[in-house]
Amino acid sequence: MSVEVERKFLCNADTLKIIEEIGGACVRQHQFQDQYYDNPNFDLTLRDMWLRKRKGCWELKCPSTEEKSGGQSKTAALCTRYKEITNLSDIQRRVVEIIKDVCEDTGTNFSMENESWLSELNLVCFAEFTTVRRSFVLEEEGVQIDLDQADFGYHVGEIEVLVPEDGDVQSALEKIERTARKLGLSGDQRVEGKMSVYLKRYNPKHYAKLLSEHIL
């Protein structure tokens, strides 16, 4: 399983032009809807686990606990590192491990045919939005740049490097740092992701809880 190392950045009127000037090639433009799920106690998101359905497929984003996670440099502090699980039975197993209290009577043999496992685990959709994404690659750095426009009016960019399991996270952080400099990014504040902005606006209690636990 690979680890996604990402740095988010704020876009402006010049971002697209700069990406083209530094050699970014547009490889894809697509639109997708995300539905995020958790139980009413927020047992998943309070553990920084993000269960979502995107284009009909289930995904679970979990924090990477790699030993070689790249240390605590300024660059590392601006980046996130997550693993993405896409196999449904693996996702269900991880979710059951986390929501143990509601699962005392629940096995892990859920039907793959329908979505009754969601109600069995008391999981409900807490966020739903559509993103238009333009993706660019910088061949020489081996990085991808995504420009996301969410349907609730938030525009954010991401510099992303995929690192194989046991791969070199430090080198990924350096690629991201070099790309950030080429893009002229300044500042050492983490930029909010779509979820932060969405929850702050539409589900402030959930947002406040995640903020107080330093998840967002």
**CA 85 from chain center: how many Å?**
12
Taking each helix axis as running N to C, give the angle between helix 204-212 and helix 194-202, from 0 to 180 degrees, rounded to the nearest 10.
130
Binding residues for ligand V4E restricted to 131-160, rule: CB under 6 A: 158
Of 15, 64, 80, 92, the one binding ligand V4E by CB under 6 A: 80
Burial class, 212, CB count within 10 angstroms (exposed 0-12 / middle 13-18 / buried 19+): exposed
**Nearest-approach distance from CB 34 to ligand V4E, in angstroms:** 6
**Nearest-approach distance from CB 175 to ligand V4E, in angstroms:** 16
Q: Which among 94-102, 104-112, 168-176, 193-201 is the span making contact with ligand V4E, rule CB under 6 A?
A: 193-201
Q: Rule CB under 6 A: say whether 50 interacts with ligand V4E.
A: yes
Q: Rule CB under 6 A: say whether 195 interacts with ligand V4E.
A: yes
The phi, psi pair for 37, rounded to 5°, reads: -125, 145
Rg (CA), the chain: 18
Reading the block at residue 115, the tokens are: 């979505």
Q: How many residues bind ligand V4E (CB under 6 A)?
A: 12
**Nearest-approach distance from CB 148 to ligand V4E, in angstroms:** 6
CB nearer to ligand V4E: give 61 or 209.
61
Give SS3 for 156. Answer: strand
Q: Rule CB under 6 A: say whether 167 interacts with ligand V4E.
A: no
Instruction: Number of helices (H) and strands (E) in the chain: give both, helices first.
Output: 7, 8
Q: Rule CB under 6 A: say whether 202 interacts with ligand V4E.
A: no
Reading the block at residue 158, the tokens are: 């991401």
Using CB under 6 A as the criterion, which residues of the chain lie in contact with ligand V4E when the complex forms?
6, 8, 50, 61, 80, 82, 158, 190, 193-195, 216
